[in-house]
Structure 1
Amino acid sequence: SAQFFHLLRRQVKRPIRKPLVVLTPKSLLRHPEVVSSLEELAQGRFQKVIPERVKGARKVLLTSGKVYYDLLQKRREVGAEDVALIRLELLYPFPEAELKEALGFYPRKTPVVFVQEEPVNQGAWWYLSARFCGEIYGHPFSVVARPESPSPAVGSSKVHREEQEALLEEAFK
């Protein structure tokens, strides 16, 4: 993906070298939708937030990482074209201006729901919930995530698939 290429390029071009932590699963390496054109590679840049403008959206799903592609597929399956997907590609330093601009397209009371695969007591939700406390730039803010758990994985692929499907169903309610 051009996003990953531009992230690495940006890191190398910086005058001060700092560690870069990238959390991404191997499952996206051959995903058919994670492709970029030569133009995106040559002309593009790293985007901290990837917005989507859906006129008349009843809800905005804010997400980060691989679950975006699951949400995209589920949206097609259920025909929920009135639900917008916004990708948060950088968590720290927090891209406040970019996210504010992306959400500014939607009426202030349009609900924003952060969707994460991790249990609610793990993942990016802890960071975001502390930062926004139920409201994000005038929008009601909530989460769809797996139930609290001491472990990020359930240990059973069958249970994992069931939880993932329930998570996706909840996101589009």
Structure 2
Amino acid sequence: MQAVLDTIVGKIVDAVIQSVVVHVGFVFQYKKKQKKLEVEIKSLEEQRKQIKEKVDEAITRGEEVDERVLNWLAEVEERVQKIKDDSTINENMQCFKFSCPDYISRYRMSKEAENKMEEVKNLTQSGNFSTVAHPKPFAQELQFPSSSANYANFESRELVFNNIMVALQDSNVKMVGVYGI
């Protein structure tokens, strides 16, 4: 009976000690957690910058940017700014105007840094897009009425018209020039 009681008490004591060690670690590792948070934020900002560049390239090519990408960019911008604003708390706070460190504030800052780090990691993972845009649908083919009184459809014009349409549909062609009467 005594052996069973000793093992149960031992397990309870071990669990309590582990919990205390974890929470005490928050007090003394707050600077380390703040640095890790800064590294994660820099990584997220770099990812945001790369995706923003891809979006700008897609817009330049005339593609339509996916809504989920635009929403992610806006969310990252908002959350990163909020996290940076929240991180302006003075980490050297003193308790009761004396020279002892404020352990409660250190604990709180460490817990907040850990929670924010998890949020930043989630944003980083959700920002892994295979594509950021897709081509816009082509416009309907131009139709000219052949029975117009002001327009006569000649074979020579049809060849030029077809060449212009091919050039307009080619994504490598940057400029089309039409000259003549």
TMscore range, shorter length: under 0.3
Q: Calculate the TM-score normalised by the size of structure 1.
A: 0.23
Higher share in helix: 2
Higher share in strand: 1
- Using CA pairs below 8 Å that are at least 6 residues apart, which structure has the higher relative contact order? 2
Q: Calculate the TM-score normalised by the size of structure 2.
A: 0.22
